[in-house]
Homo-oligomer: A and B are copies of this chain.
Amino acid sequence: MKAIGVTKDGDGPELLDVPKPEPKAGEALVRTVRVGVDGTDHEVIEGSHGGFPEGEEYLILGHEAVGVVEEANDTGLEEGQVVVPTVRRPPNGEENGYFERGEADMAPPEETVERGIDRAHGFMSEYFVSEERFLVPIPEELAPRGFLIEPISITEKALELAYTSRSSFHWEPESALVLGNGSLGLLTVAMLVEEMDVYCLGRRDRPDPTINLIEQLDATYVDSRETPVEDVPDVHEAVDLVYEGTGYAKHAISSVHALAPNGVAALLGIPGPWEFEIDAGTFHKECVMYNKAIVGSVNSGPRHFEAAVERLQELPEDALDSLVTRVVDYEEFEPAFENHNEIIKTAVSFE
């Protein structure tokens, strides 16, 4: 079958001929419908994140997928059922406590692999197989946008950690600052605008499709070149929630200064080492005197996928239309991996 992947010798994504996978006991064969592309894919392609499956010369890309059950095999699924796969799997098929508890998202990197990212093939192929427990059934009408469920689930988990961290006292967030106007940041803006005032930080000039989408959602665009994160309280307002989706370490540190008393910053970006000077004393004191919190969040678990299925149905269709700037056929996949200002979110279609 055809798959889009990277090879150890190659230079960027290519169309590969790979064996069609055969489902083992407990696994279903899924025919891929669409697979989204995000910043993590670009990191995998660059080689800055993730890695190849052990003993293999290639990695099939793609972790944001939606498909249709082709062969239910011995699972409880039905053929024709639309499903979204979760991303993490036990390494070498060896179960551990995180997977047993349905909390694969809480596993440290040593105790999990990630399909399409780290040491396991992804879903950007005509077919894939998966254990039933890692396939989330979704309503059929969500199939065309089903590849958005994985990224939405990432934010569902981060918000769960953030809200839970504030649940021992009265906390009703009225404002949020989303750091990053990539597709995940913009999805998060769409998720939060019904609940609170949302600011979204980027570094783009108008006209720009991400700024248009931010404003279409009634959020406020903040240009970080004019208003750095720590100045947001003076220029706009101190925010109850910061959602960091940039992987830019200066933002992670500055987040604390953008927070209102008792606020929380959820960190999701994954930077490399970067040394610089900070006022660690003030950072520390702000956390304590104002009861502020920082929660790191990676990946997402089954309940976050289920929440994301609900959420996708609530998000405004016109905003989702603006978000998904292009769906390309897998045989002409190259534009899906381009990276320029006119692209927000792309997907590869296998239909």
Q: Chain A: residues with CB nearer than 8 A to chain B?
A: 97, 101, 103, 105-109, 160-161, 164-165, 167-170, 247, 249-250, 252-253, 261-262, 267-298
Contact = CB atoms under 8 A, between A and B. Distances in A.
B106 A293 contact: no
Given A106-B291, A294-B293, A296-B288, A280 B168 contact: no
A109 B277 CA distance: 27
Given A293-B296, A294-B293, A295-B293, A164 B165 contact: yes
A270 B290 CA distance: 11
Ranked nearest first, the 7 interchain pairs of A and B with the lowest CB-CB distance are: A287-B296, A274-B281, A165-B165, A108-B261, A249-B280, A252-B284, A271-B281
Contacts of A252: 280, 283-284, 287
Contact of A250 (B168, B280, B295): B280
Given A165-B165, A169-B103, A261-B106, A290 B296 contact: yes
Given A252-B280, A271-B281, 7 more contacts: A249-B280, A267-B288, A271-B284, A274-B279, A274-B282, A275-B279, A287-B296
Contact of A275 (B165, B261, B278, B296): B278
Contact of A280 (B160, B164, B276, B288): B276
B262 A106 contact: yes
Contact of A289 (B249, B274, B277, B298): B298
A103 B261 CA distance: 13
A267 B97 CA distance: 29
Nearest to A261: B108
B288 A270 contact: yes
Contacts of A262: 106
A275 B280 contact: yes
Contacts of A161: 165, 168, 291, 293
Please give the count of copies of this chain that the complex contains.
2
Contact of A267 (B103, B109, B261, B284): B284
A275 to B, nearest CB: 5
A169 to B, nearest CB: 5
Contacts of A273: 279, 281-282, 285
Contacts of A164: 164-165, 167-168
Contact of A298 (B270, B277, B291): B291
A230 to B, nearest CB: 14
A272 B261 contact: no
Nearest to A171: B106
Given A272-B281, A275-B280, A282-B273, A290 B108 contact: yes
B278 A280 contact: yes
22 contacts: A101-B170, A106-B262, A108-B289, A161-B291, A164-B165, A247-B284, A249-B281, A252-B284, A253-B283, A267-B284, A267-B288, A270-B285, A271-B284, A272-B285, A273-B279, A273-B285, A274-B281, A289-B298, A290-B298, A291-B296, A292-B296, A293-B294
B298 A288 contact: yes
Nearest to A303: B168
Given A280-B253, A280-B276, A165 B285 contact: no
